[in-house]
Amino acid sequence: MSKYKLFLLRHGEGAWNKENRFCSWVDQKLSEDGVKEAQDCGRLLKEQGYKFDLVFTSILSRSIQTAWLVLEAMGQEWVPVVKSWRLNERHYGSLIGLNRAEMAQQHGEEKVKLWRRSYDITPPLIDESHPYFLEIYNDRRYTTCDVPIKDLPRAESLKEVLDRLLPYWNSTVVPEIRNGRTVLISAHGNSCRALLKYLEGISDEDIASVTLPTGIPVLLELDENLKPVKPRQLLGDQAKIQAAIKKVEDQGKAKPST
């Protein structure tokens, strides 16, 4: 029997989603389409009668901006928003900034799919020669973390995302859910996938085929032990959702030569 409702949301489309680049920890605002996705998401949730008591986000602007727009569209701007780096997108290391389709052309679609979707393969580490290294590690937001900057990731597998996310989930999010609060987690494709893997008990192999499109809310109905009582629901027009999933999956395919 369902006791709690939890909502997961991958942020609306960001500028680098549009350009098909690995964005990761580089801070990006939402694109125009991303703003619309977040607003449409909020309107949908309002129409369906949902109300949030608390929202958790990463410390990346696209996650926070999405939360704000969703709450605004719902008329729930007053709801508290709590931010943590532990909900950040997966750190893609030296792949950050690169175009996925061009990478597939160079290295093959299978290799790029492993880097993007596998559970325990870590991409090459970012180092100080990388064009975005200083932009990330000199950013003041990372001085607010519960670990020193020198101990923050330089690249992560999905397993490592789950490893840094779980302590926050257990210490901070779970008590709020158990207190009866309806929680929205406005985060990223991989932080949401990592949490889904944990909650739904998805195998290391099967998680590779779990795709979350931008701006589509995911409803999980949980029992008293925070185990799902039914399959996750992606809310909204199902035909549009399937088209959005295919679009995400096609990002790692090489462009046909012209």
Per the model's pLDDT, the better-predicted residue between 239 and 163 turns out to be 163
Pick from 197, 191, 204: nearest CA to 119:
204
Return binding residues: 10-17, 62, 89-92, 116-117, 189-190
Pick from 38, 21, 41: nearest CA to 92:
21
Spatial distance between the Cα atoms of 209 and 190, rounded to a whole number of angstroms: 12
Give residue for tokens 């932080």: 191
Domain for residue 168, yes or no?
Answer: yes
Residue 107 has pLDDT above 80, yes or no: no
Per the model's pLDDT, the better-predicted residue between 249 and 177 turns out to be 177
Residue 156 has pLDDT above 60, yes or no: yes
Spatial distance between the Cα atoms of 1 and 223, rounded to a whole number of angstroms: 6
pLDDT digits (tens, 9 = 90+) for 13-53: 998 888 889 999 999 999 999 999 999 999 999 999 999 99
> Mean pLDDT throughout 145-150?
97
Residue 153 has pLDDT above 50, yes or no: yes
Residue 174 has pLDDT above 90, yes or no: yes
Please tell me the total count of domains within the chain: 1
Return binding residues for substrate: 10-17, 62, 89-92, 116-117, 189-190
Pick from 125, 127, 122, 124: nearest CA to 137:
127
Domain for residue 258, yes or no?
Answer: no
Contact 101, 94 (CB under 8 A): no
In terms of residue numbers, what domain contains 144? 4-250
Task: Please report the pLDDT score of residue 104 as a whole number.
Answer: 79
Domain for residue 42, yes or no?
Answer: yes
Portion of the chain with pLDDT greater than 70, in percent: 96
> Which two tokens mark 15?
């500028």
Average pLDDT, the chain: 93
Domain for residue 226, yes or no?
Answer: yes
For strand 183-187 and strand 4-10, is the pairing parallel, antiparallel, or unpaired? parallel
Domain for residue 257, yes or no?
Answer: no
Task: Please report the pLDDT score of residue 250 as a whole number.
Answer: 66
Pick from 11, 5, 59, 6: nearest CA to 216:
11
Task: Please report the pLDDT score of residue 184 as a whole number.
Answer: 98
Active site residues: 11, 89
Give residue for tokens 């199902």: 238
Give residue for tokens 């462009």: 255
Q: Chain centroid to CA 9: how far?
A: 7
Q: Chain centroid to CA 94: how far?
A: 19
CATH code of residue 196: 3.40.50.1240
What is the pLDDT confidence band of residue 148, given thresholds at 50, 70 and 90? very high
> Which two tokens mark 3?
């006791």
Spatial distance between the Cα atoms of 181 and 6, rounded to a whole number of angstroms: 9
Tell me the pTM.
0.93
Domain for residue 255, yes or no?
Answer: no
pLDDT digits (tens, 9 = 90+) for 56-103: 999 999 999 999 999 999 999 999 999 999 999 999 999 999 998 888
Residue 207 has pLDDT above 90, yes or no: yes
Pick from 182, 171, 166, 168: nearest CA to 2:
182
> Mean pLDDT throughout 125-145?
97
What is the pLDDT confidence band of residue 257, given thresholds at 50, 70 and 90? very low
> Which two tokens mark 196?
């889904």
Domain for residue 256, yes or no?
Answer: no
Contact 179, 4 (CB under 8 A): no
Domain for residue 16, yes or no?
Answer: yes
Task: Please report the pLDDT score of residue 251 as a whole number.
Answer: 60
